């Protein structure tokens, strides 16, 4: 039986060719410790029949050629390497989000404002469990605007007005016990100091922003009542008081406390039948009325009052520990 020796003799065969050594059926490969192992798994290669000196010359020549000509890699070899190097960059570019305009901060109070990109949405009782003044559901469209990231806090109110009318004291809690008329005086002073044109949001702007830009959400950030406590301070979790703004989860626009904590005054006069004939573009509510609209619910209310389509209203002179506001400003 023919044998091929390994061990010291095998080390003289270049590694490039050792893996190609093969034996016919019945040949044995002897390892360095003298054990004979059958080999049946390597393709037939007659290289082992060449003289050793010739094998060494061929291997050394091939090595010298590769070392002296690194640019000799074929295009077929380079292409996969280059593609592999470029793949992470291309993948990153594919998933990179578009650049968005950053929020701005009021220089007087430190209030942060989020850009709400305009668009069209179905406003009103889209879930079919609302009240008559939330119908009919119609498509309305809005231009871009900015909306306060948080409800106006007691600290911010004091910076402008010099006093704090709130029942539940705390600098980072929302200011409350402020009437719609009180808020107008606050806005007038703030605009004089800041040079901005702050205002209250319209009902349509408020609902569009609370729905994360017009999405079909029942509450701000979710449509599931079981999850409402993650987004809002209301009857079940508030402990019968307000809480510091921004402690709950935000909606998809980055707005906090759009549900619960305090009701929020809107710019509009309340009109019970206004939805029946409202304009499609940038509706601003009836031209006259006796009550001003509020949205969002408060720490005192249950989930039904926190629905984003729910509408509430009071006299512009009414004050309560459940009522506050946030500001808006049109994009320049």
- pTM, whole model, 2 decimals? 0.71
CA dihedral sign, ordered 125, 128, 131, 137: positive
Per-residue confidence (pLDDT) for residue 77, from 0 to 100:
42
Q: How many residues does the chain have?
A: 332
pLDDT the model gives residue 151: 98
Contact 253, 116 (CB under 8 A): yes
pLDDT (tens digit, 9 = 90+) per residue, 238-259?
Answer: 999 999 999 999 999 999 999 9
86-123 pLDDT, tens digit each: 444 443 333 333 335 667 899 999 999 999 999 999 99
Domain extents in the chain: 3-95, 104-330
Q: Say which DSSP state 195 is in.
A: -
- The token pair that represents 142 in the structure block: 């809005």
The separation between CA 332 and the C-alpha centre of its own chain, rounded to angstroms, equals: 25
Looking at the domain 104-330, which fold is it? Answer: 3.90.1580
pLDDT band at 56 (very low <50, low <70, confident <90, very high): low
Q: Tens of pLDDT along 186-216?
A: 999 999 999 999 999 999 999 999 999 999 9
């Amino acid at each position: 039986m023919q044998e091929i020796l390994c061990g010291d003799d095998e080390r003289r065969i270049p590694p490039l060719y050792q893996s190609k050594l093969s034996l016919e059926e019945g040949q044995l490969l002897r390892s360095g410790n003298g054990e004979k192992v059958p080999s049946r798994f390597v393709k037939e290669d007659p290289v082992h029949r060449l003289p050793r000196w010739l094998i060494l010359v061929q291997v050394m020549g091939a090595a010298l050629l590769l070392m002296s000509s690194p640019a000799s890699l074929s295009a077929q070899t380079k292409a996969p390497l280059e593609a592999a190097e470029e793949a992470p960059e291309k993948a990153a570019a594919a998933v990179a989000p578009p650049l968005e305009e950053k929020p701005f901060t009021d220089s007087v109070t430190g209030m942060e404002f989020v850009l709400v990109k305009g668009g069209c949405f179905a406003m009103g009782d889209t879930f079919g469990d609302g009240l008559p003044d939330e119908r009919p559901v119609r498509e309305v469209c809005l231009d871009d605007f900015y909306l306060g990231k948080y409800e106006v806090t007691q600290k911010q109110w004091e910076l402008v007005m010099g006093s704090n009318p709130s029942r539940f004291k705390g600098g980072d809690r929302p200011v409350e016990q402020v009437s719609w008329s009180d808020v107008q005086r606050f806005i007038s002073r703030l605009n004089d100091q800041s040079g901005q044109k702050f205002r209250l949001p319209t009902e349509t702007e408020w609902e569009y922003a609370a729905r994360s830009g017009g999405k079909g959400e029942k509450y701000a950030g979710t449509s599931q009542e079981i999850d409402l406590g993650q987004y809002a301070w209301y009857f079940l979790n508030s402990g019968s008081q307000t809480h510091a703004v921004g402690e709950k989860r935000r909606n998809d626009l980055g707005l906090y406390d759009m549900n619960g904590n305090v009701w929020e005054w809107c710019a509009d006069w309340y009109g019970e039948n206004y939805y029946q004939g409202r304009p499609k573009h940038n509706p601003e509510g009836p031209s006259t009325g006796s009550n001003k609209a509020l949205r969002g619910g408060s720490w005192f209310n249950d989930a039904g009052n926190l629905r984003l389509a729910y509408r509430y209203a009071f006299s512009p002179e009414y004050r309560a520990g459940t009522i506050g506001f946030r500001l808006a400003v049109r994009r320049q």
